[in-house]
């Protein structure tokens, strides 16, 4: 599988995650969101950027629980709950946001 971003082809696995996370450019998230009929707002980007920073530092995608707590701490308590995150990423913040961010699927996610 693959996706097209600005005329460039990016290889993805059978679930749509980028095969090579170093390939990631913001356009990857835009194209993936468009396929899901989702318009990315600054609130989405806050989460996507957080995920990329977290991965850079710890080399894994965070579990949803960890993501929720971290978002609450960084972006304000009113955003640190699953309702807010599912509102942004209806397919699940772990799975969907990680996919947009070019990260592998979080450990423990089935």
Looking at the Cβ atoms of 31 and 70, the one nearer to another protein is 70
Q: Which helix (H) or strand (E) holds 41?
A: none
User: Does 82 engage in binding with another protein (CB under 8 A)?
Assistant: no
Residues whose CB falls within 8 Å of the CB of residue 91, separated by 6 or more in sequence, listed in order: 36
Cβ 57 to another protein, closest distance in Å? 6
**Placement of tokens 């960890």 in the chain:** 66
Is 109 a known active-site residue?
yes
Helix 26-35 with 42-58: angle, nearest 10 deg: 120
The residue from 20, 49, 82, 107 that contacts another protein (CB under 8 A) is 107
User: Does 78 engage in binding with another protein (CB under 8 A)?
Assistant: no
Known catalytic residues are: 109
């Amino acid at each position: 599988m693959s996706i097209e971003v600005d005329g460039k082809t990016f290889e993805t696995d059978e679930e749509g995650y980028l095969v090579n996370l170093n390939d990631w450019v913001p356009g990857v998230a835009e194209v993936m969101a468009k396929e899901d009929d989702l318009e990315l707002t600054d609130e989405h980007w806050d989460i996507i950027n957080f995920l990329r920073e977290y991965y850079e530092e710890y080399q894994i995608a965070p579990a949803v629980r960890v993501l929720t707590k971290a978002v609450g701490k960084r972006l304000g308590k009113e955003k640190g709950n699953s309702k807010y995150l599912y509102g942004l990423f209806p397919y699940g913040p772990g799975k969907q946001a990680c996919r947009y961010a070019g990260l592998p699927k979080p450990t423990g996610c089935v």
